[in-house]
A and B are shown apart, each in its own frame.
Chain A
């Protein structure tokens, strides 16, 4: 198992390099020198500009620039935000917890909805419950997160006035009040993201369960006299979860997309809203770094999925 995890870790490195290469090529192909904001400023004398260009290595061949950029990123030198006047890595570290808190809770909520609903629907295929769940799932993943977010604000903040619609990072309370307030303000963003996720996950779970439930070994388990609950949970679910894990990992890029939108709607100070605000203010180092962090998060979640995969199906880790 540990060997398997190590091998997966080694496979993740080329993906990271690939993502960084794509990002860098995009940046290099873009018209103009996005990094040269300072160098092209008319108030900066030409010799200073030339020194800056040399410092940033803007006149080097492209592969050298890529290697420079890569080694700087690896050393933790992520550049300096022109707008926030602080180092990019510090800025991102400051924003990351809010994003992970919302995404993580939403993921848990989605699993809590999708697994029971999907499993129950698969045990009674084409029943009324299954059909209603299916239609709701379709509606769920056809509702874009920005529209559900607006609907939630309209219903729960504007009309009912139950929940705050602006997320605040410094709540003026301590102890248990602080915890409750943190939970209260996260309810809407987490629900928006979680329900969207749950919709497609329910369909994955249902179809994976249906694939497994027909297999002979399940009939054998039933013939041995095991109860329905035991057959479903111990025999069917464990195997059905294997493809589901992969599908959930493949969904991660979409989840981060949804997180950017929800952060923007509810004004959560996470890295998604940081990305939007730095794009709007032309803060290139931050834009690049945040996009790269999103790429790293995708690779990380794929890695977690692979490890889970090996645990669910020991045959895979032996190969």
Chain B
């Protein structure tokens, strides 16, 4: 079987440091390298954009409304004559930040629940897995909409219109996406906790927390990083979907999904208005997905490439 040949290292292959080896494996995936570059450009544009492109996002100029791309407005203008490039730079910050923050929430919750379920040998583990399965069979988008519908006003009052919605969307998207991470972490824990090096740590008197944090968790991180990467893309799509349905950020916060929502009734006279933000969502998501695929090649030690 193929497994036998995999285990024997060839004599002439050079040994690289772990980081270099990871990069070597990652860089084999050409589309992943291109994607990482694209995403870097996108992030730079969104972060540094406002310092270079100094047009205000809410400069209303009805006369210059619904214009296609031009020198004054590279991405054109919307029905009120607001500059779409400036709005996209501003909204992109929020869209990407939501993706990143929601991923952190889902990875944190997923790792916590997966680790607890993977370490406990009794009813707690079963209970947590039942909970995970229950969450997996919840209808996500309807529930997202329901949660936002019910809690929107309360959080708006507490943290202001933009901050409140940001916290709500991040918590809700992250809180409904932790299940795959929990399953991955639990599966990793179940196999790693029986390995000799963990047994050695246990024999030396390491407390369960130390076993987890120092020995088990670092070895279980590979799949979590991959799942986390793909979660960023999923969270960006989820936020855009909410905004597209008119239930995400308030109208004066032009996230990419919100721009599409505003543009969708003007498709016949201003297609550029929908195409640029939609294209930005697509590029961000496809780049992140390809990076995840490249990381899978790079971090899965069993794959020989």
Contact = CB atoms under 8 A, between A and B. Distances in A.
Interface of A: 15, 18-19, 22-23, 26-27, 30-31, 34, 135, 138-139, 141-144, 146-147, 150-151, 153-154, 158, 214, 250, 253-254, 256-257, 260-261, 264-265, 275-276, 279-280, 287-288, 290-291, 294-295, 297-299, 302
B267 A138 contact: no
Contacts of A22: 134, 138, 143
Contacts, number: 130
Nearest to A264: B245
The 5 closest A-B pairs by CB, nearest first: A257-B141, A30-B150, A294-B139, A142-B286, A147-B278
B281 interface: yes
Contacts of B159: none
A256 B142 contact: yes
B233 A142 contact: yes
Nearest to A27: B150
Nearest to B35: A138
B31 interface: yes
30 contacts: A15-B134, A18-B134, A27-B150, A31-B154, A138-B289, A142-B282, A144-B240, A144-B241, A146-B240, A146-B260, A147-B282, A151-B278, A153-B267, A154-B271, A154-B275, A250-B136, A256-B141, A257-B140, A265-B264, A276-B246, A279-B145, A279-B146, A291-B139, A291-B145, A294-B142, A295-B142, A297-B139, A298-B138, A299-B137, A302-B137
A294 B267 CA distance: 31
Size band of the interface chain B makes with A: 35 or more
Contacts of B145: 260, 275-276, 279, 291
Contact of A280 (B154, B246, B293): B246
If over half of A's interface residues share one DSSP class (helix, strand or loop), that class is named, otherwise mixed; here it is helix
> Which of A26, A147, A260: most chain B CB closer than 10 A?
A147
A294 B141 CA distance: 10
A261 B286 contact: no
Contacts of A19: 134, 137-138
A210 B151 CA distance: 46
A158 B137 contact: no
A294 B145 CA distance: 12
B227 to A, nearest CB: 14
Contact of B142 (A27, A154, A260, A265): A260
Interface in B31-62: 31
Contact of A298 (B137, B153, B241): B137
A201 B282 CA distance: 19
A256 B244 contact: no
Contact of B274 (A30, A150, A275, A276): A150
Nearest to A138: B289
Nearest to B274: A150
Given A138-B286, A276-B245, 7 more contacts: A147-B282, A150-B264, A150-B278, A154-B275, A253-B139, A261-B141, A279-B247
B134 A138 contact: no
Nearest to B236: A144
Contacts of A135: 31
A287 B149 contact: yes
B183 to A, nearest CB: 11
A54 B136 CA distance: 36
Nearest to B240: A144
A261 B248 CA distance: 14
